[in-house]
Homo-oligomer: A and B are copies of this chain.
Amino acid sequence: MATFSPLVEQLIQALRRLPGVGPKGAQRMALHLLERDRDGARRLAAALVDAAERVARCRHCRTLTEAGECALCASPRRDPRLLCVVETAADLIAIEASGSYPGRYFVLHGRLSPLDGLGPAELGIDQLLRRLAVEPVEELILATNLTVEGEATAQFISEHAATLGVAVSRIAHGVPLGGELEFVDGGTLSHAFASRRRMFR
């Protein structure tokens, strides 16, 4: 059966490694770039090389940046008494987009998952604890996801942070705003019940 020429096939296979891209999608992308947007292909190649070579982790919070220190860590307007732990740089961006958090961050780039080779060292938890020891952090807010690994990660960090005399909190999980009970999944509902707050005595 005939296929595309070797270079076109090579491009399709390279595109397939992107998350969420299947064989048809990769083929469509390759043909789009080659038939209609070679300039976009060259620009994407340059952006990939630039980012792959130069983007590293912020030396304070480990988010992705090419600047050594990210804009958030460099900003004097962020409250140094609050430190929020997130799993990924995308989580950090989502929290920033909500505009509800004035403090600083620490990005784990994952969660504790021994089977995937992700232990405390890979997540930079030693670096996090050093920050807690030397910086004026008063509250450590754990915003890892509500999965088995995310919970275990939060638990692990909270136990170590507590020995340093830092208050540790966990973001609330429950029914989302505008979420109708009828359509909320059972796990979220049982968590919402278990974490219920008394309104008056």
Interface residues of A (CB under 8 A from B): 1-8, 10-11, 13-15, 17-21, 25, 27-35, 37-38, 40-52, 54-55, 64-67, 70-72, 88-90, 92-93, 96-97, 99, 109
Interfacial chain B residues near A19, Cβ < 8 Å:
28-29, 32
Among B31, B47, B48, point to the contact of A89 (Cβ < 8 A).
B31
Give how many copies assemble into the complex: 2
Interfacial chain B residues near A28, Cβ < 8 Å:
19-20, 90
Interfacial chain B residues near A46, Cβ < 8 Å:
14, 45
Known: A8-B51, A11-B48. A88 touches B42 (CB 8 A): no
Interfacial chain B residues near A14, Cβ < 8 Å:
40, 43-44, 46-48
Query: Complex Cα distance A90/B89, Å?
Result: 37
Among B42, B45, B52, B93, point to the contact of A38 (Cβ < 8 A).
B52
Query: Complex Cα distance A99/B188, Å?
Result: 50
Asked whether, in the complex, the Cβ of B5 is within 8 Å of the Cβ of A50, the reply is no
**Binding site secondary structure of chain A:** helix
Asked whether, in the complex, the Cβ of B6 is within 8 Å of the Cβ of A66, the reply is yes
* Known contacts A5-B64, A5-B66, A6-B66; 4 further A-B pairs (Cβ under 8 A): A2-B92, A10-B51, A27-B93, A42-B48
Least distance between A45 CB and chain B CB atoms (Å): 4
Asked whether, in the complex, the Cβ of A64 is within 8 Å of the Cβ of B11, the reply is no
Asked whether, in the complex, the Cβ of B30 is within 8 Å of the Cβ of A51, the reply is yes
Query: Complex Cα distance A111/B102, Å?
Result: 54
Query: Complex Cα distance A86/B49, Å?
Result: 36
